[in-house]
Structure 1
Amino acid sequence: MSHKIGITACSNPMHPSFSADLARLCQILRELGFDPVLSPCLYDNGSGFSGTGAERADALMNLYCDPEITDIFDVSGGDMANEVLPYLDFSVIAASGKRFWGYSDLTTIVNAVTTATGNESMLYQVRNLLYDHSAEQITLFQNAFSGQSPSLFDLPCTFLQGDHMEGVMIGGNIRCFLKLAGTDFQPDFRRKILLLEAMGGGVPQMVTFLSQLKMMHAFEQINGILLGTFSQMERDQLTPDMPQLVRQAAGPDLPIAKTPYIGHGTDAHAAVIGKFYQISSD
């Protein structure tokens, strides 16, 4: 028996060319036993948006209000996900028990949902089922939902500084996470593990982001930093590299680890925002 899942796009509208990929994604999901329910706010409606912020929020809330839907997956990315936040009913979201899955710009919604409700949210892009590591991702995804294996959530890492950190995880894409600064949805940094990754951006951008986190006193409050991949920095072999920049910003005492399994690579695993992690070098 299949169970229903929602598919939506709260950030930038999907290009019409995505329709073939979406059809293939839905076919994969059906073969895995899911029944995808598509939001009306997926594609550009001619305005450069897939709907206003309120309309995209309403489409998301309709998925939350469907009692048969268990999980909601956002397939978008870009810049505009935070526009929906003021229009969401977090009391309904909290009571629903549904998990929200999104990546990149959806870092804003993933962290806002957890901050406002205490519910865990999933930092993961379901479109990974389509691309270079499709077979592996489908197996990981299927095993996670069947309860056979939680390997989709494994985040093997190497410590760059220190050898242990523990705390509830917050964060995601560094640029998008900082959109929550100063809002009602900014997570509490105290005793947290801060996860950071990025697709674009060179050294000046990373210095800017880390400087902002430092001035927000994040590094004084968190228990550790888990770095994912930084696609442009690593592809172009820019120096100083991200580990060096983070050590400079955070100081010599804060535990810092790095994993290749969080980032914009199509082999990325899922991180659970709002979950308590214990990470050691053992």
Structure 2
Amino acid sequence: MSILNKNDKIAIVACSNGQPIANKFKIDNLLELLKKLSLNPICSNYIYENTSPFNGAAKDKGKAFMDLYRNNEIKAIFDISGGDLANEVLDYLDYDYISKNPKPFFGYSDLTTVLNAIYSQSNNPVYLYQIRNLISSDSENQISNFTNSLLNNEDDLFKFSYKFIQGSKIEGTVVGGNIRCLLKLAGTKYIPDFTDKVLLLESMGGEAGLMSAFLNQFKQMGVFDKIQGLILGTFSKMQENNITPTIEELVLSIIDNPDLPIAKTEEIGHGANSKCIIIGKNISLFNHKFK
């Protein structure tokens, strides 16, 4: 059964930073494209910034999200934002209602906070993916993957290539997302239980020193002792600038555990080619050389 059907209504929201008015042309293009794909996008009233970077009060954004979530005509919710503000809506979401009424929710980057909070509080799977990829430089592939997977029940959008850095098999339920944003949940009730999970980490900005700080925080929280495996997505700034030590070298040095399987993919993160990974769903990766 496909996630969406033709003529379905879908909601477009922005729980993190408001979109600059200068982006309205791009957002309008996205909405037109979705209509061409036989979907009916409905926008929240809090898409665009009013006082940069804010696009409304946290309580109002949370209420708008829940109003759209409670609308039975809306079959999925897509967040088009990123930045810093997403965690302000966490206290205004009705996790009991969400738990009893699962609905696909998609977002990336700063939405890592909302995705993992929804999973930890409701046990519902959520989708780490940015729908603005449909109008990116890799739009042709993205439109094909999106259509095949969400409307035709294929797995194109969810299959990604990877290589093992150490170990030969990763299996477990996925949690995580953007490394900086996931750490905003540290010390809160919204942080997922990492026990026996597969942790995905990716980043857009940040060089080696900042990544080292984040990784050491996870280590000091005991996360790397609990998980079954680690998937590294793209670390855009580090990789584009060929920064050393590389993210792989940093991870191996800081975790310092040859028994923890670690894989790297170039297809999950902030890149225009980014695929979708489902938080709260089991994943199995194998090093085919060892099969």
State if a TM-score over 0.5 links the two structures. yes
Moved more, 24-33 or 88-97: 88-97
> Counterpart of 1:144?
149
Gaps in structure 2 of 5+ consecutive residues = 1-5
**Distance change >3 Å, CA 91–CA 148, structure 1 → 2:** closer
Gaps in structure 1 of 5+ consecutive residues = none
Q: How does 1:36-51 map to 2 (within 5 A)?
A: 36-46=41-51, 48-51=53-56
* CA-CA distance at 1:33 after TM superposition: 1.3
> Counterpart of 1:267?
273
* CA-CA distance at 1:147 after TM superposition: 2.6
> Counterpart of 2:69?
64
Moved more, 145-154 or 164-173: 145-154
> Counterpart of 1:75?
80
Aligned residues: 282
> Counterpart of 2:57?
52
* CA-CA distance at 1:114 after TM superposition: 0.7
Aligned match for 1:184, one of 182, 186, 189: 189
- AA at the equivalent of 2:282: F
* CA-CA distance at 1:46 after TM superposition: 3.5
- The answer (yes or no) to whether the contact 1:64–1:92 under 8 Å persists in 2 is no
Q: How does 1:1-282 map to 2 (within 5 A)?
A: 1-46=6-51, 48-251=53-256, 252-282=258-288
Deviations 1:55-85 (A, max 9, x none): 1101111110110111100000000100000
* CA-CA distance at 1:45 after TM superposition: 2.1
Query: RMSD of aligned C-alpha atoms?
Result: 1.0
Secondary structure at 2:174's aligned position in 1? strand
- The answer (yes or no) to whether the contact 1:70–1:98 under 8 Å persists in 2 is yes
In 1, Cα distance between equivalents of 2:49 and 2:216: 35
Secondary structure at 1:193's aligned position in 2? strand
In 2, Cα distance between equivalents of 1:218 and 1:224: 11
In 1, Cα distance between equivalents of 2:284 and 2:49: 42
- The answer (yes or no) to whether the contact 2:59–2:89 under 8 Å persists in 1 is yes
In 2, Cα distance between equivalents of 1:35 and 1:54: 26
In 2, Cα distance between equivalents of 1:221 and 1:46: 42
State the TM-score, normalized to the length of structure 2. Answer: 0.95
Secondary structure at 1:93's aligned position in 2? helix
- The answer (yes or no) to whether the contact 1:157–1:259 under 8 Å persists in 2 is yes
In 2, Cα distance between equivalents of 1:136 and 1:155: 13
* CA-CA distance at 1:146 after TM superposition: 2.1
In 1, Cα distance between equivalents of 2:142 and 2:46: 26
Deviations 1:87-110 (A, max 9, x none): 110112122221110000000001
Secondary structure at 1:183's aligned position in 2? coil
- The answer (yes or no) to whether the contact 2:18–2:52 under 8 Å persists in 1 is no
Percent identity, aligned pairs only? 45
In 2, Cα distance between equivalents of 1:56 and 1:218: 31
- The answer (yes or no) to whether the contact 1:115–1:185 under 8 Å persists in 2 is yes
State the TM-score, normalized to the length of structure 1. Answer: 0.98
- The answer (yes or no) to whether the contact 2:46–2:55 under 8 Å persists in 1 is yes
In 2, Cα distance between equivalents of 1:106 and 1:38: 17
